[in-house]
Amino acid sequence: MIKVLLTGFDPFGGETVNPAWEAVSALKGLKTDTFEVEIYQLPTVFNQSLDNLYRAINDVQPHIAICLGQAGGRSEFSVERVAINLNDARIPDNEGNQPIDTYVFEGGPVGYWTSLPIKAIVHELKRQHVPASISYTAGTFVCNHLFYGLMHHITENKLAIRAGFIHIPFLPEQAAKYAGQPSMALDTIVKGLMITIETTIANEQDIIAAGGQIC
Per-residue pLDDT of the chain (215 residues; tens, 9 = 90+): 999 999 999 999 999 999 999 999 999 999 999 999 999 999 999 999 999 999 999 999 999 999 999 999 999 999 999 999 999 999 999 999 999 999 999 999 999 999 999 999 999 999 999 999 999 999 999 999 999 999 999 999 999 999 999 999 999 999 999 888 999 999 999 999 999 999 999 997 654 443 333 32
For residue 115, is it within any domain?
yes
Provide the domain count of the chain.
1
Furthest C-alpha separation in the chain: 50
Q: Note whether 25 and 68 are within 8 A (CB).
A: no
For residue 214, is it within any domain?
no
Is 167 among the residues known to form the active site?
Answer: yes
Among the options 76, 143, 152, 153, which is catalytic?
A: 143
Is 63 among the residues known to form the active site?
Answer: no
For residue 215, is it within any domain?
no
Total-model pTM: 0.94
Among the options 22, 80, 124, 204, which is catalytic?
A: 80
Domain range holding 153? 2-209
How far, rounded to the nearest angstrom, does the alpha carbon of residue 65 sit from its chain's CA centroid? 8
Q: Note whether 149 and 142 are within 8 A (CB).
A: no
CATH number for the domain that contains residue 198: 3.40.630.20
Distance CA 113, CA 115 (A): 6
Among the options 152, 153, 167, 204, which is catalytic?
A: 167
For residue 28, is it within any domain?
yes
